[in-house]
A and B are shown apart, each in its own frame.
Chain A
């Protein structure tokens, strides 16, 4: 290697690499799984936002009830995914259902994430007895199996869309709180925190502008995967009859419960919402896995 080449390498090395986020983005774009996940989630989000434009019919009205006879119809050219027992267009219902799933997922993860974030970072940063009190409360919440806990909350608030969101969100609180506390504890001992403290940065500022941004990457991964779990949980609660009580609401879990009774006569009525749930959950799982690998290169090609 000549002196000029050495020089070039050196210059290249000295240039800023763009940092963790830039590199993570670079790795994410080269991960085929994450790309597939992004496509699936995009389709899901587009359906949710553009439902009134995409759906050919009203999802709640029994527009196609022939002579008032309750009779499901298999997929045809006019109705791509057939008609359900009440004469409603299944394709339109699935498209509108994406709205509910996305809304519920986002709201419940936001509830769990924000409260969990607050409690976890507080506990991790303050330490001592406030830490013990918060974390013991979280242990109590974790001692009840998750779905049972969610059912319990819905039972108290009454069935319905908002109640389900709150239930799934509350169940997520201790999970995020624990995750963030661990992450903050690990960051707190780092040299850059000591440096900030020694030059007299205020405690609150150290937490918000130094420790929290550096503790975020596991939270982002967990948040994406929690979206997947939230969709599953909400559909599960809907399936148990705890979701929206108006049967015309096109929620996927509720649609599945309704079709369960006609499983032998019209299996496609069950299979279609099943596929919708699986595809959207798969999308979030793929993105979550991709993010995990991108943010933690050590894991690449492993878990």
Chain B
């Protein structure tokens, strides 16, 4: 097991190295330079030159790359955003918790509804509940995130005005303290129930929009997996010896059926990082997604390089954790 984890961790090094090279050259292949996009109309050749010198953009490419990697490893520094003049690491520290919070909320929504839905559908196999859940999960997969986000925003924020439509927290609540930048956690630490409710209200719509596709997929996999397990010999044996149906369901059926579901949940975490870009754009939610989107339009080299590299690191680590967890939960699978 340890050997498996170590080997997988070592494999990550060339992958991340590849991503960093790819990103580095990609950023430099973007049309327009940060100097020009920042200076805008005022960009005289002399000003642009001065800018390039200041940010080391006049050096040969390989030298810039070596320099960049050195600062990452030596100072744990990803540079300064060209647009906001803030440290990229600081911005990640602020925006990454926002996206993680959103992704976790979406996952809670997806798992909380997906597993019971799939389970009930399998129990009533072929009945109207089953058909209905199949139909809804198919619709769920077919509705793009941003379409659902716009519809939810229109119905619950614009029309009914039940929930806020933009941001992470109410603007009037600017004096709330944020020791960790996970706003839900912050509100709990500082014992501030009003802020907590405010933050949760801001999370509901984006979480539903982002969680709808994972919800549909989890419901489908749970259903398929429960159907599989139900016909196993050990389930029949448990029933035959007179065990209460509810205990059979919980201990024998559900526990085994959830194995494939865990893998899917892990795989969907990567999808959530991707989907967050669209959700955050619709709800003007200040997370990683909307930040990187703006960075692309601003040609903000340091933000793009650092931000995407960071997301790639998170992405491959999550996938690794999923693989390891799968081996831990399922003793029948042992990686060689």
Same complex for A and B? Answer yes
Residues of A near any B CB (own CB < 8 A): 33, 136-137, 139-140, 143-148, 151-152, 155-156, 158, 228, 232, 235-236, 239-240, 256, 260, 263-264, 267, 270-271, 274, 277-278, 281-282, 285-286, 289, 302-303
Measured between alpha carbons, how far is A63 from B263 in the docked complex, in Å?
53
Provide the B30-67 mask, 1 if CB < 8 A to any CB of A, else 0: 11000000000000000000000000000000000000
Measured between alpha carbons, how far is A303 from B137 in the docked complex, in Å?
11
Closest residue to B21 on the A side, CB-wise? A140
In the complex, B228 has a CB within 8 A of chain A: yes
Q: How far is the CB of A211 from chain B (nearest CB, A)?
A: 26
Closest residue to B165 on the A side, CB-wise? A263
Q: How far is the CB of B188 from chain A (nearest CB, A)?
A: 29
How many A-B residue pairs have C-beta atoms within 8 angstroms? Tell me. 116
Q: How far is the CB of A104 from chain B (nearest CB, A)?
A: 14
Provide the B266-280 mask, 1 if CB < 8 A to any CB of A, else 0: 000011011101100
For A145, the chain B residues whose CB sits under 8 A away are: 270-271, 273-274, 311, 315
- Contact, CB under 8 Å: A156 / B14: no
Measured between alpha carbons, how far is A188 from B144 in the docked complex, in Å?
38
- Contact, CB under 8 Å: B30 / A156: yes
Given A256-B150, A264-B158, A236 and B138 contact (CB-CB distance below 8 Å): no
- Contact, CB under 8 Å: B143 / A147: no
Question: Which residues of chain B (1-52) have a CB below 8 Å from chain A?
Answer: 14-16, 18-19, 22, 26, 29-31
Stretch at the interface among B199-207, B219-227, B251-259, B321-329: B219-227
- Contact, CB under 8 Å: A140 / B19: yes
- Contact, CB under 8 Å: A282 / B16: no
Other A-B contacts than A155-B296, A239-B146, A260-B150, 10 sampled, CB-CB below 8 A, are A140-B22, A145-B273, A147-B277, A148-B277, A152-B26, A156-B29, A236-B145, A260-B282, A285-B138, A286-B138
- Contact, CB under 8 Å: B150 / A144: no
Given A140-B22, A271-B151, A278 and B293 contact (CB-CB distance below 8 Å): no
- Contact, CB under 8 Å: A303 / B220: yes
For A285, the chain B residues whose CB sits under 8 A away are: 138, 141-142
- Contact, CB under 8 Å: B144 / A140: no
- Contact, CB under 8 Å: B278 / A156: no
Measured between alpha carbons, how far is A76 from B277 in the docked complex, in Å?
36
Q: How far is the CB of B187 from chain A (nearest CB, A)?
A: 29
- Contact, CB under 8 Å: B227 / A144: no
- Contact, CB under 8 Å: A152 / B150: no
Closest residue to A150 on the B side, CB-wise? B274
Measured between alpha carbons, how far is A152 from B29 in the docked complex, in Å?
11
For A267, the chain B residues whose CB sits under 8 A away are: 154
Would you call the interface of chain A mostly helix, strand, loop, or mixed? Answer: helix
- Contact, CB under 8 Å: B142 / A148: no
Measured between alpha carbons, how far is A277 from B29 in the docked complex, in Å?
33
Interchain residue pairs A-B with the least CB separation, the first 9? A145-B274, A140-B18, A282-B142, A303-B224, A281-B142, A302-B224, A147-B274, A232-B144, A155-B296
- Contact, CB under 8 Å: B278 / A136: no
Measured between alpha carbons, how far is A165 from B164 in the docked complex, in Å?
35
Given A143-B19, A263-B153, A263-B154, A278 and B228 contact (CB-CB distance below 8 Å): no
For A303, the chain B residues whose CB sits under 8 A away are: 220-221, 224
Closest residue to A234 on the B side, CB-wise? B144
Measured between alpha carbons, how far is A193 from B297 in the docked complex, in Å?
52
Closest residue to B314 on the A side, CB-wise? A145
For B142, the chain A residues whose CB sits under 8 A away are: 228, 278, 281-282, 285
For A263, the chain B residues whose CB sits under 8 A away are: 150, 153-154, 158
- Contact, CB under 8 Å: A139 / B275: no
- Contact, CB under 8 Å: A156 / B146: no
- Contact, CB under 8 Å: B153 / A137: no
- Contact, CB under 8 Å: B141 / A277: no
- Contact, CB under 8 Å: A143 / B316: yes
Measured between alpha carbons, how far is A270 from B274 in the docked complex, in Å?
23
- Contact, CB under 8 Å: B275 / A147: yes
- Contact, CB under 8 Å: A282 / B19: no
For B15, the chain A residues whose CB sits under 8 A away are: 136, 139-140, 143
Q: How far is the CB of A278 from chain B (nearest CB, A)?
A: 5
Q: How far is the CB of B116 from chain A (nearest CB, A)?
A: 18
For A271, the chain B residues whose CB sits under 8 A away are: 151
- Contact, CB under 8 Å: A144 / B19: yes
Closest residue to A145 on the B side, CB-wise? B274
Given A155-B30, A278-B142, A281-B144, A143 and B315 contact (CB-CB distance below 8 Å): yes
Given A263-B150, A274-B150, A303-B220, A236 and B19 contact (CB-CB distance below 8 Å): no
- Contact, CB under 8 Å: A144 / B315: yes
In the complex, B147 has a CB within 8 A of chain A: yes
In the complex, B281 has a CB within 8 A of chain A: yes
Q: How far is the CB of A150 from chain B (nearest CB, A)?
A: 9
